[in-house]
Amino acid sequence: MRRLYLTPIASHLTEKMRILHTMLRVTDLEQSLQFYTEVLGMKLLRRNEYPEGEFTLAFVGYDDEASSAVIELTWNWQQDSYELGDAFGHVAIEVDDAYATCDEIKRRDGNVVREAGPKKHGTTVIAFIEDPDGYKIELIQKKT
């Protein structure tokens, strides 16, 4: 197999770069917004309707887009379902207490698919939840 080595982007360019958002396609925007805002406590930052393209974009996050990466929820009006595929892994969120966060998520009818506990081959406490479309969200307990 031939290896391809690329020269890294010059540091004067990368110091201005940052991750803006992760886009997830959703089948029921209102249900997804309820999950991300009411179960995970994010804020709806903006919502844009595109009638000519038959889609809606909603951006959710814990802080404004100018200072924090956010999640873009894309709802294509004519799409009933998606195949999640096996290439996408998960979104990760840092939490103070993964055990208490899982309890609160369950209290809010969220789906905890892996209870909080140390990760395999390590000591970091993690948990996994699923959003209404089946996307995995990892909760990583902040190290003290």
pLDDT tens digits along 28-49: 999 999 999 999 999 999 999 9
- Per-residue pLDDT in tens (0 to 9) along the chain, 144 residues: 555 555 565 565 566 677 899 999 999 999 999 999 999 999 999 999 999 999 999 999 999 999 999 999 999 999 999 988 877 889 999 999 999 999 999 999 999 999 999 998 889 999 999 999 999 999 999 987
Q: Name residue 94's beta-bridge partners.
A: 140
Q: Which long-range contacts (CB under 8 A, 24 or more apart) does 55-61 make?
A: 56/29, 58/29, 58/32, 58/33, 59/21, 60/33, 60/36
Q: Find the helix or strand (DSSP H, E) in which 12 lies.
A: helix 11-14
Same domain, yes or no, for 61 and 103? no
Q: What is the 3-state secondary structure (H, E, C) of 26-47?
A: CCCHHHHHHHHHHHCCCEEEEE
**Full domain range(s) for residue 33:** 1-82
CATH, residue 100: 3.10.180.10
Q: Which of 65, 104, 130, 138 is catalytic?
A: 138
Same domain, yes or no, for 72 and 8? yes
Count of positions (residues) in the chain: 144
Instruction: State which of 60, 82, 104 marks the end of a domain.
Output: 82
138 labelled catalytic: yes
